[in-house]
A and B are shown apart, each in its own frame.
Chain A
Amino acid sequence: MRHSPRGGVGRTSVSDDAQFHPPQALFAISTTSIHPPVDPASASYLQISPRIQAGPHIKSTMSNPFTLNGGACLAMTGKDCVAIACDLRLGQQALTLSNNFPKVFNYGDVWLGLTGLATDVQTIHSLFRYKVNLYRLREEREIEPETMANLVSSTLYERRFGPYYVSPVVAGINQRTGKPFICGFDSIGCIDFAKDFIVSGTASDQLFGVAEGLWEPDLEADELFETISQTLLNSLDRDALAGWGAHVYIIKKDSVTKRLLRTRQD
Chain B
Amino acid sequence: MASSYLLPHAQHAPHAHPTASSQPRQHHWSPYTENGGVILGIAGKDYVIIAGDTRSSEGYNINTRTARKIFQLGSGIILGVVGMSADGEELARKVARKIDDYKRNHDKHITVSAAAVMLSRTLYQKRFFPYYCQPLLGGLDENGVGAIYTYDYVGSFEREQSRAFGSAAALITPFLDNQINLKNQFVPGSNGEEPRTPGDMPRDLVEKIVKDAFSSAVERQIEVGDGLQMVTVTRAPPRAEEEEATVEDDDEWTGSTISETLSPLKQD
Q: Using CB atoms and an 8 Å cutoff, list the residues of chain A in contact with chain B.
A: 19, 22-23, 25, 28-31, 33, 35, 37-38, 43, 45-46, 48-51, 56-57, 64, 66-67, 116, 161-163, 167, 186-188, 199-202, 204-206, 208-210, 212-214, 230, 233-235, 237-238, 262
Contacts and interface: CB of A to CB of B under 8 A. Distances in A.
Size class of the contact patch on chain B: 35 or more
Nearest to B173: A238
A3 B219 CA distance: 50
Nearest to A43: B28
Contacts of B8: 22
B1 interface: yes
A233 B178 CA distance: 9
Contact of A45 (B13, B31, B174): B31
B208 to A, nearest CB: 11
Contacts of B185: 230
Contacts of A210: 171, 174-175, 178
Contacts of A51: 34
A188 B4 CA distance: 9
Contacts of B179: 213
Nearest to A33: B12
B2 A212 contact: no
B34 A200 contact: no
B117 interface: no
Contact of B212 (A66, A167, A213): A213
Interface of B is mostly: loop
Best-surrounded residue of A19, A33, A212 (most CB of chain B within 10 A): A212
Interface of B: 1-13, 15, 17, 25-26, 28, 30-32, 34, 128-130, 132, 153, 168, 170-175, 177-179, 183-185, 192, 212-213, 216-217, 219-220
B30 A213 contact: no
A205 B170 contact: yes
B7 A161 contact: yes
B6 A30 contact: yes
A57 B2 contact: yes
30 contacts: A22-B13, A25-B7, A30-B6, A31-B4, A33-B9, A35-B12, A38-B26, A43-B28, A45-B32, A45-B129, A48-B32, A48-B130, A51-B34, A66-B4, A67-B2, A167-B2, A167-B3, A186-B1, A186-B3, A204-B2, A206-B173, A209-B175, A210-B171, A212-B216, A214-B175, A214-B178, A230-B178, A234-B174, A234-B178, A238-B177
A46 B128 contact: yes
A217 to B, nearest CB: 15
Contacts of B11: 37
B184 A48 contact: no
A233 B61 CA distance: 35
Contacts of B10: 22
Contacts of B183: 234, 237
B4 A64 contact: yes
Contacts of A230: 178, 184-185
